[in-house]
Amino acid sequence: MLPLGQTDGAMLFHSLLNTRKGKAILGSLEASMLADRVNRESIDMDPEQLLETRRKALASVAKNKEISPLELVCHKLEFARASIIAGRNSEASETLREAGLVLEKTPNLPSTIWFRYFLDVYEVEMATGRLTTATEAPNKALDLEERLDGAEVDWDMALALRVECVKLRIADSDFHGARLRAEAIRAHCPKKKSLTPERAQLLALQGECLIRTGRKNEGQDLLDEAVDEILDASGDWRLLGNSLEALGQIAVRIAETGEMETAIKLFQIAVPNLETNGFRVRANAFRAAWAEALYNHNLVEEAVAVITPLQAIGLGGRFARDVTSLRASLFLAEGKPNEALCLLEPLTSSDSDTDPTQPARSRSLRSWALYKMGWYQDDVAEARRACDVLMPVEHYEAAHALLTLALAVWQDNRDLGAAYLEEATRIISQSGHLVPATKVLRLEEIARQLSSVDRHNESKQVLLAADEFRRSPAGVG
């Protein structure tokens, strides 16, 4: 208790006398307590509510002039992560840019901080379509992997970071390397009960890699074993939620490869368990992803059955828009364009959107609904407005608007109609956001729409384009 050097007594002394060092100590303590409270409350928050909570925490910390730059950066990273979840990609990108500038000026930073930073950059760059930067970020994160092995962090944190490394390898389509790395990590992992969910996640990732390299039966066996481990180790509510979320993410990725039987099985485990254990917001996200995967595979009735029980909780911001658009797409697939129009009308306003592509995507879908209703002048105007925004950024959702324009002008100008249809096919085929299996499904959907209006020759041409991607390796992602 002697007030000398960095002893507890010295810190108490500085705190009581409110010295410069005392202010820094109290500021750091206040920031830590605030961060802890936000973390406990944010386990399953609505995305918009989570973002506002993180915004208040960051503002509170930023006011404290005695706070260390590193602590401020950590709060910025948390705010950026919340922005990503809420779909505010431009805000997340700007926050990460500010955090990166501070990190570059801070010497001797822990590798764990840089690793987390590159993971967030990767997610933002992928979401905003900057694929070149999105490729650089995971490479930089994986370059830190050896240093993470030597970092002085406990196994709970170290294992979570190693799981992320395996996921990065999967994102880079290095399925063999990801599986070997997951096996090695799991083999050296201590047999602590608290680490069981992460060990189960590694086993599930091994199973995913086997499925994506054509060894379906072996992969399914590992996934079944991983599910049993996750459900058996359900004592910690937070860890259970994270593990079930990992299963949901694997289901989304496997669905993109076309292995719907396995994907549906994982969704059927992850979603109900998330709902019954109180993770409503996460369950909503995966229920929507499940319905979208079914819709993309032309399983319309099944998709409607899955999305119908979707809870209103957690449907804020971009997520609400995406779910509404999906419901409108299902109405169109069921031959109910009027119901689709009612859902899409409010989404075409850009007043509250920071991303102009969001209302443009709704306009693209709405133009097709108008065409199906027979409102030919309105559908062309809506399709052109959508293309004005989506075509300069080569967004694949422009395909509906291009298809609308193609069919609207076909009678008067066959060459122009063919050009619009060719663009719709091209923009899907060349999209960097879609895996081959999804491109096949999108092109098949266009072919079905063409057949529904008796454009059978054009439908065959689009199906030929789809066949090229059908021959692509299913595991590529």
Please give the torsion angle defined by the CA atoms of residues 378, 383, 384 and 390, in that order, rounded to the nearest 10 degrees. Answer: 150
* 140-149, 271-280, 404-413, 468-477: the lowest-pLDDT one: 468-477
pLDDT at 15 over 80: no
For residue 34, name the pLDDT band (cuts at 50, 70, 90): low
Find the largest Cα–Cα distance for the chain.
92
**pLDDT at res. 352:** 47
More confident residue, 173 or 33: 173
**pLDDT at res. 128:** 64
pLDDT at 440 over 80: yes
For residue 475, name the pLDDT band (cuts at 50, 70, 90): very low
pLDDT at 87 over 60: yes
pLDDT at 93 over 90: no
**pLDDT at res. 353:** 46
pLDDT digits (tens, 9 = 90+) for 215-228: 999 999 999 999 98
- Mean pLDDT score across all residues of the chain: 82
CATH number of 337-470: 1.25.40.10
**pLDDT at res. 210:** 93
* 106-120, 358-372, 451-465: the lowest-pLDDT one: 106-120
pLDDT at 251 over 90: yes
CA gap 343, 339 in Å, rounded: 7
Q: What is the mean pLDDT of residues 244-253?
A: 92
